Structure 1
Amino acid sequence: MIKKFFKNIGPGPLVAAAFIGPGTVTVCTLAGANFGFALLWAMVLSIIATVVLQEMAARLGIISQKGLSQVIREEIKNPFFERMAILLILSAIVIGNAAYEAGNISGGMLGLQTILGEHIVTFGGLSINFIAVVIGICAFILLYIGSYKVLERVLITLVILMSLAFLATAIITKPDLIEVAKGVFTPRTPSGSILTIIALIGTTVVPYNLFLHTSLVKSKWKSKSDLTYARKDTFIAIVLGGIVSMCIIISASAIQDQSITNAIDLAKGLEPLFGSFAKYFLSIGLFAAGITSAITAPLAAAFVTSGCLGWESNLKSLKFRLVWIFILILGVLFSSIGFKSIEVIKFAQVANGLLLPVIAIFLIWIMNKSSVLDSYVNSKLQNGLGIIVVLIATFLGIKGILSVFNLI
């Protein structure tokens, strides 16, 4: 029974690994530190939205045996709109992932530095963080092996490690369960919380995950009968991933301290109350979050580029490798020379929240084309849920832009 369960684990944990990166840890930490349990409802909303959209992505991948970017390129018949769509997707996903990668490696680096200390190497007048290089090399080796099974096993192990670390930290803080329940079931928008709410949605319902999921799911399953396994895999992994994110908010809520800006500050803040255990749990969790996202972000960028430009989406093909190597090198370079990732991570999460409606509209449009999905097109309920997700994301996005320019 257990063996069969593990055999049918698919890309779900990889999708969870992709959205629980240092960006998620940072945004959830800020949400908890600044607003307590008040924004837990936004996390629940994000989990529901992610399950709805990622199920569509998984179904598209299995039925069409193609990636989302490839299907969009093939289905847009007008050359002008096709080029515009490809430009939008490439700029948003590839350039966005390059920025993310610096944050991912920096996050993993922060986690290790808390335990091991800083290790700076001076090379030709340039100071390079040795830990960032080591994380980059680990990610490079795992991606270069080009085996989906190896990637899957390593990432699942890291996700379990990360989940246990953050869960343990939340339990240590002994939260008030009644207040937690109020935060989960009572939507509130405290003053100054709109951008944080958008960031929570942007860091969970990640547009590049839709492309990653359609590409990975066809590596795991080939038959339409496997849809049941794919749906279970998606639901379980995303709900568990959402619980991990909520644990980070709960942990950060234990200290109402405005000086907390990232997970390492959170670790230091918890240490006087709960001893060094909190620091180690959080550091291990942040390292695992960083390295899993450091692997999935370049991988997603390579899948998106291959689909948009009509290349072969093979983990071992030269063009595919060149894309993820480029993203990985940029990430290592920016993070190792001390590139400040916290503000960039926050900006990227908000940008993701604004980009989401556009990518979601593309996906829903494709999911209603019987020429692509035959009888597996969206039902009225699936379309309804998808449209609700788009409307909420659009509303929050517009409100966020107005907040940035102090118009509301």
Structure 2
Amino acid sequence: MFKKIGPGVLVAAAFVGPGTITMCTLAGVRFGYALIWALLVSIIATIVLQGMAGRIGLVTQNGLVDVVRTELKTSWVRNVVIAIVLGAILVGNAAYEAGNVGGATLGLEQLLPQPELKPLLPAIIGVIIFLLLWFSNYKVLEKIFVGLVGIMGVSFVICAIITQPSISGILKGMFVPQLPEDGLLTVIALVGTTVVPYNLFLHASLVKEKWNSKTDLKAVNWDTIVSIGLGGLVSIAILITASAAPISEINNALDMAKALEPLFGKMAFLFMAIGLLAAGITSAITAPLAAAYVASSCFGWEGGMQNKKFKIVWAIVLLCGVVFLSFDIKPIEVIQFAQVANGILLPVMALLLLWIVNKKSVMGENKNTVLQNAFGIAIVVFAIFLGAKSIFKVVGLL
């Protein structure tokens, strides 16, 4: 079974980062178990979209941008789409990388509490990630991620068990949808941190690194469902844990850990810190990696992860994260641009995915079924709504 686990683990690790941990914490603290259904919906949506991206990568043996560029025959449409993709992924991932490195730093700070080390921690995390990416190939990264996701999953699930949650309350929150007052933006944020546009590009590129035959389609589907399902379980465990935390104000995931310590002991705090460190490192690796794969596809670079230009792209994204964090730079305008670009990118990519996986000339007998299209159309509609909300929020209309 574990031999079939691969790219999906990196996708799961990418969306269960510091941002997701913080949003799940906020949802749990403010609304208890009431919004677990929103996480369940977002996990299903992620499995459907990532399943399409993985299938495209396997059948075509190309990255997502390569396929889009080939299939979009109108030059101006092709150029606009590629410009949106490049802008959203390269600039967006560079802006958000500070949050990923910051999450790992927060976790490491609790494990190494010496005050004199604190200013050096972002650089230490940055060097660790740089070395992992520079000297690793896909197979090595896959093994590292299986280990890190395992640590992260065990840490957060143990935290949830320690809080002795209500099973009936969890089931009600999962299968009886309700929208508490002021809960809409939290629902949108939970979906937005789980259905991540850059993961679509990362997944398609990594699938062709691991598998090269259409007969491996079952393995790709298994990997996607199991890995993302486990990632979703981690997100739900964080929300459940947060619902037991007696706090009203949340700035980051460690606020929950500190609130849990008096009630559930030092072990709860320790497991939260370890989980946050693992989540930060995994997201801080996948964001630069996805940016490099997108740039490689857009510009047609050969050689995969060993290409020097590929390495330069992920190194710049990583450097931006470390610099923003080390010098306490708050790139608000850059992040706002990234939010707008990602708000446009998600529905655009969802539509393009749906279009490509229904083209017999591209997918052959592996094109979408009627049921897959029904799920896909529902997700596209929701992606448009989600994207519009994020854009309006940035420009101040909502």
Can you list the C-alpha shifts for 1:303-335, whole angstroms capped at 9, x where unaligned? 011111222251001111110011011111111
- Select which of 222, 239, 247 maps to 1:249: 239
| Aligned 8 A contact 1:195 1:350 in 2 | no
Match of 1:383 in 2: 373
User: Could you say if the C-alpha distance between residues 188 and 154 of structure 1 is closer, same or farther in structure 2, counting changes exceeding 3 Å?
Assistant: same
Looking at structure 1, the residues matched to 27 and 336 of structure 2 have their Cα atoms a distance apart, in angstroms, of 12
Task: Tell me the TM-score normalized by structure 2.
Answer: 0.94
Can you list the C-alpha shifts for 1:317-355, whole angstroms capped at 9, x where unaligned? 111111001101111111122346999989977974664
Give 1:258 deviation, angstroms: 1.8
Matched to 2:319, the amino acid is I
Unaligned stretches of 5+ in structure 1? 122-127
- Select which of 73, 79, 82 maps to 2:78: 82
Match of 2:174 in 1: 184
Matched to 1:60, the amino acid is I
Match of 1:94 in 2: 90
- Select which of 335, 356, 365 maps to 2:355: 365
Matched to 1:110, the amino acid is L
Q: For structure 1, which segment, 177-186 or 104-113, has the greater mean C-alpha deviation from structure 2 after superposition? A: 177-186
Give 1:400 deviation, angstroms: 5.6
Note the 1:229-378 alignment, pairs <5 A.
229-312=219-302, 314-339=304-329, 352=342, 355-378=345-368
| Aligned 8 A contact 1:306 1:313 in 2 | no
User: Could you say if the C-alpha distance between residues 313 and 359 of structure 1 is closer, same or farther in structure 2, counting changes exceeding 3 Å?
Assistant: farther
Give 1:190 deviation, angstroms: 1.6
Note the 1:35-184 alignment, pairs <5 A.
35-117=31-113, 119=115, 129-184=119-174
| Aligned 8 A contact 1:133 1:332 in 2 | yes
| Aligned 8 A contact 1:335 1:341 in 2 | no
User: Could you say if the C-alpha distance between residues 401 and 145 of structure 1 is closer, same or farther in structure 2, counting changes exceeding 3 Å?
Assistant: closer
Matched to 2:270, the amino acid is Y
Looking at structure 1, the residues matched to 34 and 57 of structure 2 have their Cα atoms a distance apart, in angstroms, of 37
Looking at structure 1, the residues matched to 288 and 396 of structure 2 have their Cα atoms a distance apart, in angstroms, of 35
Q: Which runs of 4+ in 1 moved over 6 A?
A: 341-351, 403-408
Looking at structure 1, the residues matched to 197 and 397 of structure 2 have their Cα atoms a distance apart, in angstroms, of 27
Identity level (%): 54
Question: What is the root-mean-square deviation of aligned Cα atoms in Å?
Answer: 2.3
1:20 equivalent to 2:16? Answer yes
| Aligned 8 A contact 1:203 1:349 in 2 | no
User: Could you say if the C-alpha distance between residues 286 and 351 of structure 1 is closer, same or farther in structure 2, counting changes exceeding 3 Å?
Assistant: farther
| Aligned 8 A contact 2:201 2:294 in 1 | yes
Question: SS state of the match for residue 315, structure 1?
Answer: helix
Matched to 2:320, the amino acid is L
Looking at structure 2, the residues matched to 346 and 256 of structure 1 have their Cα atoms a distance apart, in angstroms, of 32
| Aligned 8 A contact 1:102 1:341 in 2 | no
| Aligned 8 A contact 1:106 1:290 in 2 | yes
Looking at structure 1, the residues matched to 271 and 326 of structure 2 have their Cα atoms a distance apart, in angstroms, of 24
Match of 1:124 in 2: none
Question: SS state of the match for residue 117, structure 1?
Answer: coil
Looking at structure 1, the residues matched to 27 and 137 of structure 2 have their Cα atoms a distance apart, in angstroms, of 37
Note the 1:214-229 alignment, pairs <5 A.
214-229=204-219
Can you list the C-alpha shifts for 1:345-390, whole angstroms capped at 9, x where unaligned? 8997797466422211111111122222222111221111111111
Looking at structure 2, the residues matched to 228 and 187 of structure 1 have their Cα atoms a distance apart, in angstroms, of 32
Matched to 1:231, the amino acid is N
Unaligned stretches of 5+ in structure 2? none
Give 1:257 deviation, angstroms: 2.3
User: Could you say if the C-alpha distance between residues 402 and 80 of structure 1 is closer, same or farther in structure 2, counting changes exceeding 3 Å?
Assistant: closer
Looking at structure 2, the residues matched to 344 and 352 of structure 1 have their Cα atoms a distance apart, in angstroms, of 12
Q: For structure 1, which segment, 185-194 or 290-299, has the greater mean C-alpha deviation from structure 2 after superposition? A: 185-194
Give 1:261 deviation, angstroms: 2.4
Q: For structure 1, which segment, 250-259 or 155-164, has the greater mean C-alpha deviation from structure 2 after superposition? A: 250-259
Aligned length: 398
Looking at structure 2, the residues matched to 27 and 350 of structure 1 have their Cα atoms a distance apart, in angstroms, of 19
Looking at structure 2, the residues matched to 361 and 11 of structure 1 have their Cα atoms a distance apart, in angstroms, of 23
User: Could you say if the C-alpha distance between residues 108 and 202 of structure 1 is closer, same or farther in structure 2, counting changes exceeding 3 Å?
Assistant: same
Question: SS state of the match for residue 190, structure 1?
Answer: coil
User: Could you say if the C-alpha distance between residues 217 and 104 of structure 1 is closer, same or farther in structure 2, counting changes exceeding 3 Å?
Assistant: same
Q: For structure 1, which segment, 229-238 or 342-351, has the greater mean C-alpha deviation from structure 2 after superposition? A: 342-351
Looking at structure 2, the residues matched to 108 and 255 of structure 1 have their Cα atoms a distance apart, in angstroms, of 21
1:32 equivalent to 2:28? Answer yes
Looking at structure 1, the residues matched to 116 and 330 of structure 2 have their Cα atoms a distance apart, in angstroms, of 16
Matched to 1:379, the amino acid is T
User: Could you say if the C-alpha distance between residues 179 and 26 of structure 1 is closer, same or farther in structure 2, counting changes exceeding 3 Å?
Assistant: same
